[in-house]
Every structure is written in structure tokens, then in C-alpha cells.
């Protein structure tokens, strides 16, 4: 058994790198004959317009190589399954749109691959710890083998988002929100650490053709890294991936818990790394935007001289249904700043924060924050941005209350954000859209 072997290869088109990495690590050692296989890419978000996919979304190049390799192993029952973030709750069939945009229909036509939008499939209750259960995609639970295709990226809340974190895409909405609970002992990191417990036999192939700083979404900074990491052990692959991103697995709390669950040493002494050496391919990737010392304002906004405003740093209780709005709020505040101080205003997010004494106005963002502080009796004015995800009209009204006029559509037009972010990569030949196409 080679469960603790991890292979690192430099990626080059046409060189069958996925096959080489899988065979070197024996990542398919637990693949049964005639298996029903699920492939799980990371399509964290999908927009209708152009947006930077580099380091955000699993490349179609890696997906196609994986499908071809499974066919070579004699596997005919292959499904691709993903549950992308639905930024607009009213938009339907986002999974099928992403599959079409990434060219997966060609895989369907050529190899008989099935395309499963997790949101359009059933879920079943699975116990992941004593007294703790989540609703998990039924197709995964009925499969014989999982091929996990995460992207090699950082994550603003948990430092890295790799194979284990990618499993969250199999959960229903309520379970995803449940992962972002306010329990300090059994919060997001603990919940993520338990996700491998419901897995069938699996292989993890980390797509590092493109990587990203300050991930997991397109507002991070992408790099061309040209790496593939493979293993039959998702935690082993993730720990090596974290080292490649410049982060010590010992500093990633959900790794520590998962290693304890599995009986694996967190310092990589139990892992055999093959192919490229970690130290020769590693490059530090920042995982979060820096805040000031007391975490009440992004450092960039403090340097601008903004006064009278606290925008408390998000914590692990902020879920993906509020997080897109946070960046929007910070952007419009920075763009609108004219040098005049704010009148002691604060923004609170997530599920733990309480209004601060001495502030004149506390803006509560999101349904969870509003519910937590519904009986607040302090002296300040309380402004609630209700909804899950938060209502754009409520957000615009709150901004107007601090002197910033903004059209509510600004908070729901993420296609505009994607198009603006694309300008970062204009005329940079290494950022090639063809990696997300299938010929």
C-alpha cells in the first residue's frame, strides 16, 4: 500500500503529466475494476461574463487528461459533479452553465461522461462525528471511487483550499452554512477536518497549472506555476500542497485535526515525496489581505487615512453567501473616500461579533449577524442588512446612511467585477484561456 506517497510533477501540455503523477504516486491503487467514478473539480464560482479563472477553477486541461486516464484504466461509468456557489439565488442551472463554459459537453460526447449539478441532485444525511451530521450529495455516496481535482490555492479563512476543502462542494446549502458555525471548538476548521470521513476510496490530483494568492476567488492574484500533485491520500496531497504554497501544515488547524483523525504525522515525516522536490518548486503565496493590528480596518484603508470607521476583519463564521458582499462594501468605501472622517461607524459580519461600545452606528451585515444582535441594548444606532445572501437594496440603504450613494445593482453585478479583474491580466501571455477549453 502506498497511501502516503505524493508525486509532484512540472506540467507541460502533451506530456501526459497527470498520468505520470498518478502512476508515480500509485494514486489509483484503490480504484476497483468497473468502478462507478465521480470526478470533483473546483468550480468555486461561475459568472456569465468574463472573469479570471486562473487559479480559481480547475483547468479543463487537467480534467480532460484525468478522464482519458480513467478510460485507459477501463472505467466507463464516469460522472463530473460540482456545486458551484450561486451568487444570485434566482439564477438556475449554474452547474450546467459552468460545464458548458469549460467544454465538458465534449467529454460527454466523446467518452460518455455524465455531468451532475449537485444543486439538482439529492442529498443524504451522513454522520461525520458523534452527534454531528451533514447532508452530502447522494451520487458521491453511491460511487465506488472519487477523483478529487482541487486547485492549488490559498484561502482567506483557512489558509489553503485543496483536496479536503474541495469536498465541501458536495454539501447542501444548510450544511455549508453549518460548517461556518460560531463554536470555537467545532467551527469551520473542525468541520472541514471531518469531511474525509465520508469519502469512498479516492485519488487527489491537485491542479497547480495556475495558483492564486488571497484566494479562493477571482479577486485574488493569480500566478502561472505549472505543477501537478497526486496521491491516493487526500491529506498527504494537501500537506505537500500547503508546503508548495509556502505554508507549514502544522499551522493549518484543520490539517492538524485531520492528521490526528488519520494517525498521520503532521510534519510530513510519514510522507514520501516523489518527482520534484518541494523546496525547488515552493513559492510563498499570501493567504489574506492584511488588516491593521487590532483587525478593525484593512491596512490599505488605514494607509489612505480613513478615520472614524471600523470594518472588523471577517472570521471563519462568515460563509460564502455573505462574503461576496464584503469585498463590494470595502471597494465602494475606498472608492468614495474624499478625506473626511466617518462619524464612528462600524461594520460587523459573521456569527460572533457584537457592536462595540462608543460607536455611534453599527451596521450588521447578513441574516446571521442580525439574528445574533437582535436584542442589542447599546446606545448606538443599529442598521441591519438582512437577507441570506444580504439584500442589495438593504446594503445600498446602509451605505447611503453613512454618506455614500450607490445603486443597489452594484452589489449584485458580479459580472462587472469579473470584467474589471480581467484587466489585471490583459496582454500577459502566460494567462491563457485555452487551458479552460477542450478542443
User: What's the pLDDT tens digit per position in 329-353?
Assistant: 999 999 999 999 999 999 999 999 9
Residue 121: predicted pLDDT = 97
CB burial string 164-192: b at 16+ within 10 A, e below: bbbbbbbbbbebbbbbbbbeeebbbbbbb
CA atoms of 351 and 178, how far apart (whole Å)? 11
Query: pLDDT tens digits for 380-432?
Result: 999 999 999 999 999 999 999 999 999 999 998 889 999 999 999 999 999 99
Residue 185 cell numbers, joined = 471548538
Same domain for 245 and 323: no
Residues 180 and 218 in one domain: yes
Q: Does 293 reside within a domain?
A: no
Place of cell 505549472: 226
Q: Is residue 423 part of a domain?
A: no
Check whether residue 39 and residue 181 sit in a common domain. Answer: yes
233's grid cell: 491520500
In the chain, how many domains are there? 2
In a shared domain, residues 222 and 320: no
Same domain, yes or no, for 270 and 330? no
Q: 73: domain CATH number?
A: 3.40.50.11440
CA dihedral 402, 407, 409, 414 (to 10 degrees): -60
Q: How far is CA 156 from CA 159, 214, 315, in A?
A: 6, 6, 9
- Tell me whether residue 229 is in a domain: yes
* Same-domain status, 256 and 326: no
Residue at 412 is within a domain: no
Please tell me whether residues 92 and 208 are part of one structural domain. yes
Q: What is the rounded CA–CA span in Å between residue 219 and residue 217? A: 6
Range of the domain at 306: 299-406
- Torsion sign (Cα): 358, 360, 364, 370: positive
Q: State what percent of residues in the chain have pLDDT above 90.
A: 94
Closest by Cα among 278, 165, 273 to 216: 165
Please count the other Cβ atoms lying within 10 Å of the Cβ belonging to residue 226: 17
Give dist(CA 156, CA 109) in Å, integer. 38
Q: Are 178 and 128 in contact (CB under 8 A)?
A: no
Residues 278 and 331 in one domain: no
| Pairwise CA distance, residues 386 & 380, whole Å | 18
Predicted pLDDT of residue 32: 97
Shortest CA distance to 253 belongs to which of 208, 350, 320, 186? Answer: 186
Residues 254 and 152 occupy one common structural domain: yes
With respect to residue 37, please indicate whether it lies within any of the assigned structural domains. Answer: yes
**Angle 323-336/414-422 helices, nearest 10 degrees?**
70
The residues, any chain, with a CB within 8 Å of residue 175's CB and separated by 6 or more, are 123, 134, 135, 136
Residues 6+ apart with CB under 8 A from 97: 46, 48
322 with 208, same domain?
A: no
Asked whether residue 424 is assigned to any structural domain, the reply reads: no
- Would you state the cell numbers that stand for residue 436, as one nine-digit string? 479552460
Q: Which of 251, 149, 136 minimizes the C-alpha distance to 199? A: 136
Same domain, 316 and 171: no
Question: What is d(CA 217, CA 52) in angstroms, rounded to the nearest whole number?
Answer: 9
Question: Residues in the chain with pLDDT < 70?
Answer: 1, 88-89
Do 279 and 303 reside in the same domain of the chain? no
Contact 104, 112 (CB under 8 A): no
Is 425 contained in some domain? no
> What is the model's pTM?
0.96
Q: Is residue 275 part of a domain?
A: yes
Amino acid at each position: 500500500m502506498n497511501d502516503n506517497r505524493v508525486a509532484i510533477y512540472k506540467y507541460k501540455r502533451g506530456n501526459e503529466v497527470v498520468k505520470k503523477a498518478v502512476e508515480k504516486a500509485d494514486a489509483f491503487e484503490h480504484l476497483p475494476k468497473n468502478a462507478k467514478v465521480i470526478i470533483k473539480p473546483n468550480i468555486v464560482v461561475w459568472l456569465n461574463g468574463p472573469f479570471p479563472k486562473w487559479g480559481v477553477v480547475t483547468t479543463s486541461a487537467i480534467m480532460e487528461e484525468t478522464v482519458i486516464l480513467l478510460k485507459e484504466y477501463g472505467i466507463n461509468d464516469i460522472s463530473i459533479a460540482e456545486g458551484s456557489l450561486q451568487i444570485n439565488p434566482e439564477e438556475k442551472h449554474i452547474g450546467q452553465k459552468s460545464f458548458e463554459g469549460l467544454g465538458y459537453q465534449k467529454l460527454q460526447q466523446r467518452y460518455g461522461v455524465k455531468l451532475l449539478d449537485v444543486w439538482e441532485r439529492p442529498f443524504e444525511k451522513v454522520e461525520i462525528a458523534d452527534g454531528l451530521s451533514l447532508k452530502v450529495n447522494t451520487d458521491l455516496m453511491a460511487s465506488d471511487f472519487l477523483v478529487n481535482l482541487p486547485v492549488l490555492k490559498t484561502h482567506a479563512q483557512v489558509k489553503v483550499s485543496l483536496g479536503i476543502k474541495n469536498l465541501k462542494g458536495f454539501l447542501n446549502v444548510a450544511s455549508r452554512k453549518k460548517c461556518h458555525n460560531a463554536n470555537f471548538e467545532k467551527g469551520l476548521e473542525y468541520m472541514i477536518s471531518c469531511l474525509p470521513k465520508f469519502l469512498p476510496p479516492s485519488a487527489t490530483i491537485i491542479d497547480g497549472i495556475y495558483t492564486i494568492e488571497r484566494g479562493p476567488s477571482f479577486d485574488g492574484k493569480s500566478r502561472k506555476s505549472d505543477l501537478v500533485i497526486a496521491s491516493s491520500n487526500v491529506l498527504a496531497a494537501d500537506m505537500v500542497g500547503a508546503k508548495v504554497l509556502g505554508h507549514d501544515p502544522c499551522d493549518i488547524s484543520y490539517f492538524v485535526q485531520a492528521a490526528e483523525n488519520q494517525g498521520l504525522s503532521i510534519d510530513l515525516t510519514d510522507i514520501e515525496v516523489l518527482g520534484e522536490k518541494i523546496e525547488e518548486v515552493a513559492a510563498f503565496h499570501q493567504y489574506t489581505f492584511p488588516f491593521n493590528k487590532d483587525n478593525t480596518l484593512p491596512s490599505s484603508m488605514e494607509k489612505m487615512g480613513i478615520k472614524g470607521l471600523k470594518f472588523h476583519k471577517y472570521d471563519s463564521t462568515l460563509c460564502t453567501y455573505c462574503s461576496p458582499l464584503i469585498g463590494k462594501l470595502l471597494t465602494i468605501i475606498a472608492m468614495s473616500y474624499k478625506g473626511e472622517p466617518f462619524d464612528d461607524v462600524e461594520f460587523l459580519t459573521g456569527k460572533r461579533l457584537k457592536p462595540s461600545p462608543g460607536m455611534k452606528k453599527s451596521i450588521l451585515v447578513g441574516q446571521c449577524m442580525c439574528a445574533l444582535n437582535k436584542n442589542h441594548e447599546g446606545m448606538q444606532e443599529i442598521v441591519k442588512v438582512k437577507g441570506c445572501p444580504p439584500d442589495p437594496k438593504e446594503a445600498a440603504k446602509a451605505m447611503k446612511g453613512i454618506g455614500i450613494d450607490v445603486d443597489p445593482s452594484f452589489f449584485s453585478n458580479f459580472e462587472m467585477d469579473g470584467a474589471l479583474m480581467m484587466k489585471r491580466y490583459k496582454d500577459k501571455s502566460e494567462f491563457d484561456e485555452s487551458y479552460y477549453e477542450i478542443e
